[in-house]
Amino acid sequence: MSAALTPAPPLPDLSQVTRVDEVGVAERVARFQTRSIKTESKTAALKMILSMIDLTTLEGQDTPGKVRQLCQKAMHLHDQLPGLPHVAAVCVYPTMVGIARKALGDSGINVASVATAFPSGMAPRHIKIDETKIAVAEGADEIDMVISRGAFLQGDYRFVFDEIAAVKEACGEAHLKVILETGELSTLDNVRRASVLAMHAGADFIKTSTGKIQPAATLPVTFVMLQAIRDFHRETGRMVGMKPAGGISNSKLAIHYLVMLRETLGNAWMTPEWFRFGASSLANDVLMQLQKQATGVYQSADYFSKD
């Protein structure tokens, strides 16, 4: 007897997806950036941001040594400031997952891996599925997959939907973050439509960008995706996480993102389980700001390692 196949989830009717009011989005985003933050709330926010960061190395020149160095940084990021939370994950290419898994040990820091022919997504589906299974077998806790933007922009939603669903099944127990690469989607309506498609196909997280295309994460794009998550939760009861990635390099901007998160989705999403920052350089600025909160003075920009 042949093994039972997992039924394909139904494709949502994307013609019914709410159109985005771009002027309204701009006005809401502007207001998020004017909120007054008290000192004690700012300190709590900085610690929360630190716990939500995915430290990343995704370069063609990556080596086992460079990945081990990044893992060491993740585990000893703030030895001079004890009591702070560790980052959420280290993100690497599939061939480096085993190296990262061994280096991180039982630190509690997850291993995330980009699969599915990152960053272009230009590969046959069976290769994307095999790459995903290899990364999971090597110890990845999270898979970051990029959608096929060409197919999406041509309106072949069935192709994109089925591909996400197939990769989700290949993930097994690992969480799936679906990268929309919003810098290539042209309009906020497309961002909203791709968000709905990814969530219905099984995404555990939706993510703005690979970091290889500009513009990467922006406040308006992230706000549209947060609204899509909110509406999806109201419709289905299922929570989906959010990861803005690329271009968030300082604490002030990251706090604006947290304000927007809280006012759109509420406190339930304000944990590393449901929100991440894909911004390695952000960790250094967060630590500088926390040092300033503790001592009243800034350290130099080189006080915390950037490597």
Q: In what order do the strands lie in the sheet with 142-146?
A: 54-56, 89-92, 110-115, 142-146, 175-179, 205-207, 241-243
Q: Which of 144, 168, 204, 285 is catalytic?
A: 144
Q: What are phi and psi for residue 243, nearest 5 degrees?
A: -135, 100
What letter does residue 213 receive in the DSSP assignment?
S
- Our answer to whether residue 207 is catalytic in this structure is yes
Q: Which of 128, 133, 177, 243 is catalytic?
A: 243
Determine contact, residues 178/205, Cβ cutoff 8 Å.
yes
**Among the listed residues 284, 282, 279, 278, the one whose alpha carbon sits nearest the alpha carbon of residue 306:** 284
- d(CA 219, CA 26) in angstroms, rounded, equals 9
- d(CA 125, CA 166) in angstroms, rounded, equals 9
- Our answer to whether residue 243 is catalytic in this structure is yes
Q: Which of 133, 204, 207, 285 is catalytic?
A: 207
- Our answer to whether residue 54 is catalytic in this structure is no
> What residues are annotated to the active site?
144, 207, 243
